[in-house]
Each structure stands twice: as C-alpha cells, then as structure tokens.
Amino acid sequence: MSWTSRRRLITALDRGVPDRLPATTHHLMPSYLRLAGCATELEFFDRFGLDAIHWTTPLRRPLEAGGAGWRLEEEDVADPDYRTTRYRFVTPRGTLTTLLQDDGRTTWVRERLLKHKRDLDVLTAIDLEPVCNLAAVASAAAGFGDRGIVRGAVPGFPVYGQPGCWQDAAVLFGIEPLILATFNDVGWVGALLAFLQGPKLAFLGSARGAAFDLVELGGGDASSTVISPPIFDRFVAPFDAPLIAAAHESGLRVVYHTCGGMMPFLERIAEMGPDAMETFTPPTMGGDTRMAEAKRRVGARVCMIGGFDQFNDFVGCPAGQTRRAVRRLFEDAGSGGGYILAPSDHFFEADDALFRAFADEARECVYDLKTG
C-alpha cells in the first residue's frame, strides 16, 4: 500500500509510525492565501507538497439563522479604520449585542456580548440546536479522497465563538472578568459553562458516524499563560472532558487545541482523553513548550501536532534555519511516530522559499519502519 497524505496523517493521529514526518498547517488565513497567489487551500498544499487538511463543519441549519423565540440581526457600523459589525440577539427576555471588527486579516471582539452577569438570563433564552450535516461531511470526504484528512470543530456560540466551553465563555464575557468570577461567583460561572456545553454535546451526538478524521476542541483561553491549574481543574476539564467522551461515542477523533502555555497542563489535558494535542507553542512565540520533554511526558498517550515557530522561521531568515527547526522537531518529538509537524496556530505571512524548505526538510525526515 502506498503512503498517501491521508494514510500518513491518520497513522500519526493513531500514534503510529508513518513513512516520513507528516507536514501540514493549521488554518490557512484567507489574507495569506491571497498574498501567496493561491485560489484555494488545496492549491497551496499542492504547491508545496504538504499533507493537506480540508476544514468543514457543516450544520443542517446555520446557527446564525436564529431559532424558536429568538433572532439574530446584523448592522454595519461606520468606522474610519476597520470593518465594524454590530450583532443583536433578540429574545423575549431582552436583547444582547456584540460588536466585531475586521482589518482584512483577522476579526476580533470589540464589545462583549455579556456585559453583566444578569445578561445570562437573556442568553439562556437563545436555544441553539447545532445538528451535523452528515451528508455534507461525507461528500467532502469523498471529494478529498487520499489528498489528506477532513477536519472539523465543535461549534462555538454563533457569530464568534470557540469550540471549548471555557473558551466560548471567555469570548462572550471577556477573560479577565471571567477569571474574577471564578473567585466571587462560582455558581454563575458553572451555569454559563453548562449552558454552553449543552449545544456542543448535541452536535457531537448528531455527528455519530460522520466522516470527520479529526474534530477540534479547546482554545487559547485555557492555556497556562492565561489561567491557573486550579481554574483548569474546576472550570475547564469538567466541562470539556464529557465532550471528548461524547465525540468518542460518536466514533470521532478529537484534538485539544491550546495555543499558549501548555507545560503545566500537559497531563491534565491528556487525562481528558483526546486523541491529539496542539499547538505546542515555543517560547520564541510566547509559549513555553519544550518538545522533547512534552514527548516524554505525554507522547505515548496522544498524537502531538505543532511546535513550529512560524513567526521567526517562515519570514526573513536563511532557509537553513528553517530546515534546522524542522529537523530539531523531528528529533525531539518524532521518535516512535505520533507527531505531525505544523505551525503553532495561524500565520499571516511566509516566504515561499522558507515554506519550501519547511516542506522539503519534512520529506527528508524519514522513519525506519523496522524500528520507528
């Protein structure tokens, strides 16, 4: 059997030893694809000979379409610098508003949806029913074939959300007030997280048998550079671990995404039972990952994805530096398989020559299939 990109990535996800180091990316930002002159993500993967990922999370009905008893309104707001949009969630209990801004490269929250704790009463009137469109996932997988894997995500709250419960709450309320609330209003935080968990569990139940190869959970607001271990233990793991179990019951693999610090949380994340962990952000990007140590501590339990410094090794450096970074990651995390080389989350620019060095060096990181 020949080694296709799909086989290579699946083997690594299942903690096996592929023919050589799998090399891919996380999300490809539309602004970067335009800079690179690529019309599609697949064109990008083919240009550099990388192992491709097709992202899709189709629902039977978009969450933004509203629901029984509530509706979503959208309004453009004049702003001299950024595209600015106000969204209104209108319910019988009141209206919640949020403001998003976009600079053409990325989008951020300017005004949080939840401005006061009392807004939770209005929020819970928003009945969300995310149902996976199984036929659409199957069609995407059939069309992609052996070019790579199909990857989805647990839906976040409509308009702008995150897959993990804690991370979704941080988007809606703000990370600083959410952390403070874990000290002065534990019950309120628990109620918010339980509300956000419900639709995620419903989605995973509806995705039984879906043709996803991998589904993402988590987000950066549960990293160790943001919250403490006690907050993780009380407010992250108890709400996200059941989502991982539900995904497994539906026959899905799960990757837990933590962009930021991870080292104090490695075993905590692994104990939740994901099949893979990412992004293993290095200290040169504000993270704390020591890949060889991470491999030693959790590499036998999960596939590791990421670890590459896209800020310093994709732009303005010699190709030899990029190649050495790839080789070092292979040596530190690739032993015995179960590792996928990838940038540590998003990137907005990269030199073509350095991306070629990244991909070329990965192809030269070959396993001895007799020994791993």
Closest Cα partner for 208 from 137, 144, 271, 140?
137
**Alpha-carbon gap, residue 112 to 180, rounded angstroms:** 16
Note whether residue 101 is domain-resident. Answer: no
**First-to-final CA distance of the chain:** 18
- Buried b or exposed e, range 320-343, using 16+ CB within 10 angstroms: eebbebbbebbebbbbebbbbbbb
Block residue for tokens 């896209």 = 310
What angle, 0 to 180 degrees and rounded to 10, lies between the N-to-C axes of helices 175-184 and 186-206? 120
- DSSP assigned state of 233: I
Strand partners, 189: none
**CATH number of the domain enclosing 200:** 3.20.20.210
Token representation of residue 184: 């002065």
Give the residue ranges of DSSP H helices in 4-96. Answer: 5-13, 30-36, 41-48
pLDDT of residue 371: 55
**Alpha-carbon gap, residue 46 to 55, rounded angstroms:** 16
Note whether residue 369 is domain-resident. Answer: no
Residues 6 or more apart from 258 whose CB is under 8 A from it? 218, 219, 220, 222, 223, 265, 269, 277, 278, 279
> In this structure, are strands 107-111 and 148-153 parallel, antiparallel, or unpaired?
unpaired
- Buried b or exposed e, range 357-370, using 16+ CB within 10 angstroms: bbbbbbeebebeee
Backbone dihedral region for residue 156 (phi beyond 0: left; psi -120 to 50: alpha; all else: beta)? beta
Note whether residue 87 is domain-resident. Answer: no
Note whether residue 80 is domain-resident. Answer: no
Phi and psi, residue 135, nearest 5°? -65, -40
Note down the domain range covering 324: 5-64+117-364
Residues 6 or more apart from 79 whose CB is under 8 A from it? 101
Block residue for tokens 């995390």 = 333
Q: What is the mean pLDDT of each run of 10 residues along the chain (372 residues)?
A: 94 97 92 88 93 96 92 96 97 98 94 98 96 98 96 97 97 98 98 98 98 96 96 98 98 96 97 98 95 98 97 94 98 97 91 94 90 54
Phi and psi, residue 294, nearest 5°? -60, -40
Note whether residue 79 is domain-resident. Answer: no
Is 87 in a helix, a strand, or coil? strand
Counting every residue written for the chain, the total comes to 372
- DSSP assigned state of 51: P
Note whether residue 93 is domain-resident. Answer: no
Note whether residue 99 is domain-resident. Answer: no
Is 339 in a helix, a strand, or coil? strand
CB 332 within 8 A of CB 308: no
Domain count, the chain: 1
**Alpha-carbon gap, residue 156 to 163, rounded angstroms:** 5
Note whether residue 75 is domain-resident. Answer: no
Q: What angle do CA 94, 96, 100 make, to 5 degrees?
A: 165
